[in-house]
């Protein structure tokens, strides 16, 4: 996944301010890699649900909704705690911040389209509604594959120079608190499993000790059980 986070021809990153790093932005790449694991699979999950299988549709829709909620919360936190601060402290980044905000607007418009379909589809597992939902996720992926990559390439290096460690940690803490407690372990498992081994090790090391204990005690089993239900027969990716 690390090879994914590179600028494409014609893309220009902002100048990175001089001086030491004030924070470590690696967790942004780790979170984005989890989204890039999840969203390419969403349309297929919907389309593979047998017509009329409302139990399966409800299970899939719950997982879709959990990830959508995490994405929307992540974007709101960036808009509240990151983007304007970047534009003010690193004016050369203002244009790129504007591009990220435009991407967010596209994502949120599609999320607004997805939500009523995602809530309606499990009631009957109607294939026509399912196809509308799957199509929306296909369109979402097109935006996210650009946005998630460019944010890591263009925004994070600047943020590391002008956002303090306390500010960065505060943004991460808000995101964690927004995840329902009964979903936290399974989402942590997805973060870990979609990370490169070296990122996974460091990320887990930085998690508060009680959370690490919970994950090793029962969280990993929760994640693995959910994965097997979502993708029967597929090998469960390694976590820790």
CA dihedral 15→19→23→29, nearest 10 degrees, is: 30
Question: Distances in Å between the alpha carbon of 234 and those of 11, 189, 226, 231?
Answer: 37, 16, 12, 6
| Same domain assignment for residues 168 and 204 | no
Domain of 142 in residue numbering reads as 25-179
Is residue 16 in a domain? no
Predicted structure pTM score: 0.96
Residue 226: CB atoms within 10 A of its CB come to 21
Shared domain for 200 and 229, answered yes or no, is: yes
Integer Cα distance of 196 and 167 in angstroms: 25
Q: Which of 142, 160, 179 is the last residue of a domain?
A: 179
pLDDT at 3: 82
Q: What is the pLDDT of residues 20-62, one digit of tens each?
A: 999 999 999 999 999 999 999 999 999 999 999 999 999 999 9
Together in a domain, 37 and 74: yes
Whether 239 is covered by a domain: the verdict is: yes
- Whole-angstrom distance, CA of residue 158 vs CA of residue 154: 7
- For the chain, the domain total comes to 2
Does one domain contain both 68 and 186?
Answer: no
- Do 50 and 60 lie in a common domain? yes
Residues 130-184: pLDDT tens digits?
999 999 999 999 999 999 999 999 999 999 999 999 999 999 999 999 999 999 9
Residue 2 clears pLDDT 60, i.e. is over it: no
Same domain (yes/no): 113, 146? yes
Strands (E), the chain: none
Sequence-separated (6 or more) residues with CB below 8 Å from residue 193: 37, 223, 227, 236, 237, 238, 239
Of 22, 40, 25, which is closest to residue 154 (Cα–Cα)? 25
């Amino acid at each position: 996944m690390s090879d994914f986070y590179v600028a494409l021809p014609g893309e220009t990153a902002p100048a990175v301010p001089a001086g030491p790093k004030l924070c470590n932005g690696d967790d942004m790449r780790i979170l984005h890699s989890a989204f890039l694991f999840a969203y390419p699979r969403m349309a297929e999950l919907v389309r593979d649900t047998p017509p009329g299988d409302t139990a399966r549709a409800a299970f899939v829709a719950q997982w879709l909704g959990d990830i959508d909620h995490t994405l929307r919360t992540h974007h709101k936190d960036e808009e509240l705690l990151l983007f304007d601060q970047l534009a003010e402290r690193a004016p050369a980044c203002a244009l790129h911040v504007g591009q990220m905000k435009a991407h967010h607007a596209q994502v949120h418009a599609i999320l607004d389209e997805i939500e009523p379909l995602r809530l309606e589809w499990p009631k009957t597992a109607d294939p026509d509604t399912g196809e509308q939902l799957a199509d929306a996720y296909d369109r979402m992926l097109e935006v996210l594959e650009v946005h998630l990559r460019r944010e890591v390439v263009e925004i994070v290096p600047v943020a590391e120079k002008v956002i303090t460690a306390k500010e960065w940690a505060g943004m991460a803490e808000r995101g964690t608190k927004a995840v329902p407690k009964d979903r936290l372990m399974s989402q942590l498992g997805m973060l870990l499993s979609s990370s490169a081994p070296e990122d996974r090790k460091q990320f887990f090391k930085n998690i508060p000790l009680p959370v690490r204990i919970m994950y090793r005690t029962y969280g990993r089993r929760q994640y693995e059980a959910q994965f097997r239900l979502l993708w029967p027969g597929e090998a469960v990716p390694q976590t820790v």
